[in-house]
Structure 1
Amino acid sequence: MKGTSVPLGFLPKPLLISVEALLPSVKLDARFATSQKYLQIRDSIREIGLIEPLIGSAVIRKTSQHTVLDGHLRLQAMKDIGLVEVPCLVSTDDETFTYNNQISRLSTIQEHQMIRHAIERGISIAKLAKGLCVDVSHVKKKSTLLDGICKEVIELLKDRQFSTLVTPILRRMKPTRQLECVELMVAANSLTASYAQALCAATPTAMLIDGKPITKRQPLSQEQHARMENEMAGLQAQYKIAEQSHGEDVFNLMLARGYIVKLMDNPRVMKYMQSNYSEVLEEFSRIAEMTSIEA
């Protein structure tokens, strides 16, 4: 609607607020100080600085304090480090649901981009590893995650979480095959290294970068490899067909379930089924109890 402005949920810029003026809204677990998450946050702030500001409520006039809506571990870490002022986004609402439940977690590619940006700003890999409480090799893998990956694949994976072992396998394939494999993995919701390895093993030699299949097992004969390629091609075609009709199939199944539930609400039908088709009635009962297709 024209002329209607959406009010901001918080002040545009973070404010530096004294740690003494920040009032926690939850009590931390007694063992938080030894948790991996807390140690990672503390070391990251010490080495790199605070990345995500705290979220606080508008100032409470009686006490001149702000209630912490999100960031209790970060606040405690900064207290332990000895900081006296911390950056805080001041909310215009005092509810905590949005900040604690409507969270979009970083995707694997976003993590990669953050690490690359940090390295470009001059932060060493060793310092990043120390700040994130991870091994140096892990940071190196994250920093080179997308090397050799085509832009179409990056676009498909940009909002997803997946193993860092997936892209080295994709890197062995040519861009066209990379895209085919990732489309299958996304459709199956299985972005795992084992699935990528299976797709790589079934990839025609001409679609591999070096023209050689990568496998630690006994290499397949040409006949076996050709058979696997044909089977995989057929499977992919069947999967595409099933994907196209999946929504309609689910809708029809739910309609059928609704009809069965309605039948079972009829005492006369139930009596007849119990007398003549008890086995069918048992299956009907299972269908009626289903809450989803996966059940």
Structure 2
Amino acid sequence: MTRERRSKKLVQLGFESVSLKISISDIEPLRTVTPQTKKSVKYGQIVASIVEVGIIEPPVVVRKSGEGKSYQLLDGHVRIEILKERGETEVVCLIAKDDEAFTYNKRISRMATVQEHKMILTAIKNGVPEERLARALNVNISSIRNKRRLLDGICDEVVQLLQDRHVPLNTFTELKRLKPMRQIAVAENMISMNRYSMTYAKSLVAASPQHTLIKDQRKAMKGISPEQLEKMERESANLELEFKLIENEYGTDHLDLVLATGYLCRLLENARMVGHLAQFFPEILAEFQNITQTRTAQ
């Protein structure tokens, strides 16, 4: 079975086949959109986008068992909040079969660079002019065109690796200088270090062996001798090996931390539990809230 067929199979298993128009009053959010979030640039862009072209990506909900036509909101809290402020009463939603909001949010980040690229392509495919998209996202039209061509020259494996990451546009420009196998290695390196800046990507490209560069990039870099370049290549290869070794040990600890944080978030959704902790263990409650604050702010 091909990767594409496997992907389609997973989507069919993860969501109901038909989207539904649901009353917003029947949707229960799992978190509150804070005043700080509403002041952010990204929030303003989403508002402008909804006003200009409507909802492009439907919110994702899951049915609440035993409660008739009630739903919990898994993804799209900002979009739902904006619709409420605009006085909307209904919204078309995707219905997820997986009722674990924590697991779903761990898999998908709707605001990542690749996801934004796909949103723009979807809008253009649906007939939205580039000029209108630029107004909706409060950017100039050249930015829309750059984002539309974002993944030209990027191999599919790298798209999969970076699809949930916040990667600067210029970083993709650097990746395009590399052949596919080296693109994958550099992307894995950036993920291991959790660094996606253009400067970091540029340093990895500079340290790449000449045979891993695409043909028109095989030129000596200005100010760097062949000996220095060879040394950079060796050091880069050694660092990548060390990153892999560290990543193997880091993965288990990170998974434990993520699961614990998810459990605490679910725990603090229980009003009786929060009340008990506030009365008898206020210090512990404060620590729990500090631990979960970063995740609930996303």
195 and 137 in structure 1: CA distance in 2 versus 1, 3 angstrom threshold: same
Structure 1 residue 223 corresponds to structure 2 residue 213? no
2:55 to 25, 50, 62: 50
Alpha-carbon deviation of 1:146? 0.9
State the match for 1:15 in structure 2.
21
243 and 137 in structure 1: CA distance in 2 versus 1, 3 angstrom threshold: same
Alpha-carbon deviation of 1:78? 4.5
Q: Distance in 1 between matches of 2:189 and 2:52?
A: 40
Structure 1 residue 173 corresponds to structure 2 residue 178? yes
State the match for 1:130 in structure 2.
135
Alpha-carbon deviation of 1:223? 2.1
Which amino acid counterpart does residue 129 of structure 1 have in structure 2?
A
Q: How does 1:60-79 map to 2 (within 5 A)?
A: 74=79, 77-78=82-83
Which amino acid counterpart does residue 249 of structure 2 have in structure 1?
H
1:246 to 246, 249, 258: 249
Query: Any gaps of 5 or more consecutive residues in structure 1?
Result: 1-7, 59-65, 92-96, 251-295
- Please tell me whether the aligned partners of residues 61 and 94 of structure 2 are also in contact (alpha carbons under 8 angstroms): yes
Alpha-carbon deviation of 1:196? 1.0
Larger Rg: 1
Query: How many residues are paired up?
Result: 228
State the match for 1:154 in structure 2.
159
Per-residue Cα deviation, 1:153-188 (whole angstroms, up to 9, x for no partner) = 223223333222211001011222212222222222
Q: Distance in 1 between matches of 2:103 and 2:27?
A: 20
Greater share of helix? 2
Q: Distance in 2 between matches of 1:193 and 1:119?
A: 27
Q: Distance in 2 between matches of 1:191 and 1:222?
A: 27
Which amino acid counterpart does residue 87 of structure 1 have in structure 2?
V
- Please tell me whether the aligned partners of residues 56 and 67 of structure 1 are also in contact (alpha carbons under 8 angstroms): yes
Which amino acid counterpart does residue 226 of structure 1 have in structure 2?
E
1:232 to 223, 229, 236: 236
Which amino acid counterpart does residue 143 of structure 1 have in structure 2?
R
Alpha-carbon deviation of 1:119? 1.3
- Please tell me whether the aligned partners of residues 59 and 93 of structure 2 are also in contact (alpha carbons under 8 angstroms): yes
41 and 235 in structure 1: CA distance in 2 versus 1, 3 angstrom threshold: closer
Structure 1 residue 105 corresponds to structure 2 residue 96? no
TM-score under structure 2 length normalisation: 0.57
Alpha-carbon deviation of 1:235? 3.2
- Please tell me whether the aligned partners of residues 14 and 89 of structure 1 are also in contact (alpha carbons under 8 angstroms): yes
TM-score under structure 1 length normalisation: 0.58
Q: Distance in 2 between matches of 1:249 and 1:78?
A: 40
